[in-house]
Amino acid sequence: MAFERVDGYRTIEFGNPGVSRDTILDFLFNGNKRATAGLLEHDYEGEGEPVEEVGEILVVLGNQNEPLGKIQITRVDVVRFDEVSDEFALAEAEGDLSGDDFRKSHRAFWEGCGYEVKPESMVVCAYFELLEKY
């Protein structure tokens, strides 16, 4: 299932609808969140979506699928789960202070969504800048 488009741009949703998404959107619009992660197998291949490209603009959606702003991709790394860097964890700015923190919190999140996470699972680490908040 392809993600919806808004004004010709692909869209992006952070976390799960509800408190999870509200918290992450607050990190994005009022904090330092400048990166996001997705499991290659589930969030991309499973959804039939290509990995983001540097320069690509995405519309950020809220809990009701309403457009809230735009981000632009500045860097994309596809790495093994066990190799996610401290640099990425800090850029994601969701409270993880190291790659080890990232692995602990994201394993719990993804496994809570029903996905198996192994050391060799591939993770898309997308860095971005916030272009605008609507």
For residue 2, what pLDDT band results from cuts at 50, 70 and 90? low
User: Is residue 134 domain-resident?
Assistant: no
User: Is residue 133 domain-resident?
Assistant: no
Domain count for the chain, please give it. 1
SS (H, E, C) 13-60: CCCCCCHHHHHHHHHHHHCCCCEEEEEHHHHHHCCCCCCCCCCCEEEE
User: Is residue 131 domain-resident?
Assistant: no
Report d(CA 123, CA 129) in Å as an integer.
19
Q: Following DSSP, what letter does each residue of 74-125 receive, concatenated? A: EEEEEEEGGG--HHHHHHHTSS--SHHHHHHHHHHHHHHTT----TT-EEEE
Residue 91's nearest CA partner among 121, 56, 125, 67 is 125
User: Is residue 132 domain-resident?
Assistant: no
Q: Is the pLDDT of residue 1 over 50?
A: no
Report d(CA 73, CA 40) in Å as an integer.
17
> Per residue in 53-71, pLDDT tens?
999 999 999 999 999 999 9
User: Is residue 127 domain-resident?
Assistant: no
> Per residue in 76-106, pLDDT tens?
999 999 999 999 999 999 888 899 999 999 9
For residue 73, what pLDDT band results from cuts at 50, 70 and 90? very high
Chain mean pLDDT for the chain: 93
User: Is residue 129 domain-resident?
Assistant: no
User: Is residue 128 domain-resident?
Assistant: no
- The arithmetic mean of pLDDT across residues 14-21, rounded, is 91
Residue 69 is part of a domain; what is its CATH number?
3.10.400.10
- CB count within 10 Å of CB 86 equals 14
> Per residue in 107-133, pLDDT tens?
999 999 899 999 999 999 999 999 999
User: Is residue 108 domain-resident?
Assistant: yes
Domain that holds residue 51: 5-122
